[in-house]
Structure 1
Amino acid sequence: MNNQVSNSPYPCKELENIRVRRQLLSYLSTDEYPLDINIVHDPVLFMDEAMRYIDHEIGMIRYSKEDANGMLVRKVRECKAELLPESEFDWLKRDERACYYTWLTIRNDTLSVDLSNLSFVKPKKWLDYHDIRLTVSAESSQKRLELIIAYLDLQPVNTSDKIDYLTYIQGIWNKNRNTNKNNNANPFRWLDRKDKDACQWGYEYIRNSFAANDTEPRDKRRQRHDSFEWSYQQLNELNPATADEQYQFIYLFFDILDERDKKDFKEKISRKFAQHKYQKSKQEIPPLNTRMSKETKKQLEKLRKHYKTNLQDTIEHIIQLAYDHEIIKSNIIKVDFSKKD
């Protein structure tokens, strides 16, 4: 049965799926004749390589176009059967934090090895992320998901090994997420992905606080916790440009920290952001220049010490007290008089 898609450059509908094309190229690529996996995006180059395979398989035997397409379709269906079902990735589609964590874990090959009841031994043929030559940066959750799928599709191992590997990472993620569920589920309630200032500030705070700095005195560098610096190093080559990506970057840094350091980081960044927000609010207040006697200045200084705050807050507090006492009270009295009349 001919299932070629109308106006399609491919001889069967299965090849409309990039995963199937990629799987076929992986099969066709050899040490003697390596193929650039990126030609999956070019129908002409892809079909040239596919038909080269058919020519090689058939040899000198004369064959029709229908025979060639039939042989190719059979190989395509074999490749499709080797792919992981889409349902295996549903948990990553539902949770962007899990997706980012999984992609980074795969990219950097940083699987934990000390988790009880969780284990995975890579087969000898297993390829590293960089061996497959996948991009080391990804600008969206969708792109990261595609890279995770590509990484697993291109592994020259059994489907069961791929499922075991993905299940292993999922187990690690669930363990980390559920260790302290109340704190880990939503640690930054002040952080809104639509708040560009908050997202950019949080991203820059991590960059400025935990990036290795060779110009720092050695004693100061030792004070930085190893877990923080190690976690930051895992984020190399990630340069989020949008507020949404900066938002996810902050959560990613939190998610890859050791459990004992998550609480510390949460408290530090939340406290620093509160200070940042306070300072920003003060900068938005227009300056007021006024004159006062020396005696008034002395009285103001005593009040400042009494309230244990700065001069600006002291003045604002005094004005608010006077306003509440005089203006609001006089309005109430005025209303009362009007009722008597």
Structure 2
Amino acid sequence: MLLSNRFVLLNKNDVNKFPGSNHRVVESALRLLRSRGVDVQTTVQEGYEGAAIINDYINRLGSNQRQKNDTLQSLLTDAQKNLLHIGELEWIQKDERACYWLFYCILFHLDDWLLNKPYGFCPVKEMNLHFSPSNSQGRFQQIVNFFDRCGSDLEWQRSLLAKMQNNWSAIYTARKPLRWLDRNNESQCKWAWDYLYNTRWQKNTPSIAGLNPTGCRETYLAIYAAFDSWVTEPEFKRLFLNDFNRAWQQKKHRDNRQGKKACNLVLREEVKQKLDAMAAARGMKLNQLVETLIENEHAKTIQLK
């Protein structure tokens, strides 16, 4: 669950309880307790599970109820202060392509961003992230988890986020690769993914490690994630895209020729000129016009029999 603007302690019989409705705040509080020497787990499946751990710890404190309530309130306040507001990540949430790119970079290209990791930075493999969410919402949640669990202060998080946003702006404003690729064309997306898969071991090709999309929309986004996250020389990218686009055009040409045979005819020059004029008048290609004329004459012949 994402961070809201207001988070209120539960109160029952003048005893405050840490609520479990906001998963981010609950985990933030658990991390604070761990940093203060309390032996608690810092990631939980459900917010209510973590809230129970916090409330159990507070109840075992050797102090009166007022002091316990003050401790709980202080913990809540500090937990909220340690989290980015969700609005700061809005540019990621609103753009599925940006979301997939950033998620993929965090999992497989983070070292390119973090040449000097800050003290206390938590390795990605220890953040308990879900590495294969099935949709954009799931990927966005893992990006939020990354920032929440990275172990660095908000200033550093905002600096990294700004760097990522600037990099994405450069990618997004550049000429879009594979402009022919239609996110709603299942066979086209499957062909494009198969091409990436079959060339994955060649030199100077985008990595698809960790990508295993299912469905047309996810395949489309995964293809762009591979290209967007590919850090290489512009010339290598240009050459690969040329080969990719050429292969697609060749496939289209082969598909268009299915069920067709070449037919070479020698016509008088004036007949060819008339044929060209007829095709132009009807807005047709020559082969389309010839097929139409033959089909029409054939239909008339059948009727006469």
Band the TM-score falls in, shorter-chain normalisation: 0.7 to 0.9
Which residue among 33, 36, 41 is the counterpart of 1:35?
Answer: 41
Q: Does 1:135 align with 2:135?
A: no
Looking at structure 2, the residues matched to 196 and 112 of structure 1 have their Cα atoms a distance apart, in angstroms, of 33
Between the two proteins, the alignment pairs up a number of residues equal to: 268
Contact 2:181–2:188 (CA under 8 A) maintained in structure 1: yes
Alpha-carbon distance in structure 1 between the residues aligned to 2:291 and 2:52? 85
Structure 1 residues 22-46: Cα deviation after superposition (integer angstroms, max 9, x where no partner): 211222336883516124x152x32
Unaligned runs of 5+ in 1: 114-118, 213-223, 289-298, 304-316, 332-341
Shift of 1:141: 1.5
1:103 matched to which residue of 2?
Answer: 103
Give the one of 20, 23, 29 matched to 1:18: 23
1:23/1:318 Cα in 2 relative to 1: closer, same or farther (>3 Å)? closer
1:87-126 mapped onto 2 (5 Å cutoff): 87-112=87-112, 121-126=116-121
Does the CA-based 8 Å contact 2:93-2:99 persist in structure 1? Answer: yes
> Whole-Å Cα distance in 1 between the matches of residues 115 and 56 of structure 2?
38
Question: Structure 1 residues 275, 17: CA separation in 2 closer, same or farther (over 3 Å shift)?
Answer: same
TM-score, with length taken from structure 1: 0.67
Shift of residue 11 of structure 1?
3.6
Equivalent AA in structure 1 for residue 52 of structure 2: D
* TM-score normalised by structure 2 residue count: 0.74
Given that residues 18 and 72 in structure 2 are in contact (C-alpha distance below 8 angstroms), is that contact kept between their aligned partners in structure 1? Answer: no
Equivalent residues of 1:24, 1:79 under 8 A apart:
yes
Residue aligning to 1:272: 247
Structure 2: distance between partners of 1:261 and 1:255: 14
Given the superposition, is the C-alpha separation of residues 6 and 281 from structure 1 closer, same or farther in structure 2, using an over 3 Å criterion? Answer: farther
Q: Helix, strand or coil for the counterpart of 1:156?
A: coil
Q: Summarize deviations over 1:219-268 as a string: whole Å, max 9, x none.
A: xxxxx32x31xx31xx3222101110100111112112323333223322
1:205 correspondence with 2:205: no
Root mean square deviation of aligned Cα? 3.6
Question: Which of 280, 290, 294 is the matching residue for 1:321?
Answer: 290
- Maintained 8 Å contact 1:120/1:164: no
Deviations 1:146-192 (A, max 9, x none): 111111111222110111111122222223444xx2x2xx3222211
The answer as to whether partners of 2:127 and 2:146 remain within 8 angstroms in 1 is yes
1:253 corresponds in structure 2 to: 226
CA 1:80/1:318 → structure 2, altered by over 3 Å: closer, same or farther? closer
Match of 1:166 among 155, 161, 165: 161
Shift of 1:5: 6.2
Specify the alignment match of 2:53 in structure 1. 49
Cα distance, 1:191–1:326 mapped onto 2, change above 3 Å: closer
Distance in 2, Cα, partners of 1:146 & 1:19: 10
Contact 1:20 1:79 in 2 (8 A): yes
Query: SS at 1:199's partner residue?
Result: helix
- 1:300 is displaced (CA, Å) by 5.9
Q: Which runs of 5+ in 2 are unaligned?
A: 1-6, 267-285, 301-305
* Matched residue, 2:80: 80
Return the alpha-carbon distance in structure 1 between the equivalents of residues 47 and 83 of structure 2: 21
What is the CA distance between 1:12 and its match in structure 2? 5.7
Structure 1 letter corresponding to 2:164: I
Task: After TM superposition, give the deviation of residue 123 of structure 1 in Å.
Answer: 0.8
Matched position secondary structure for 1:16 = coil
Contact 2:23/2:47, CA 8 A, preserved across alignment:
no
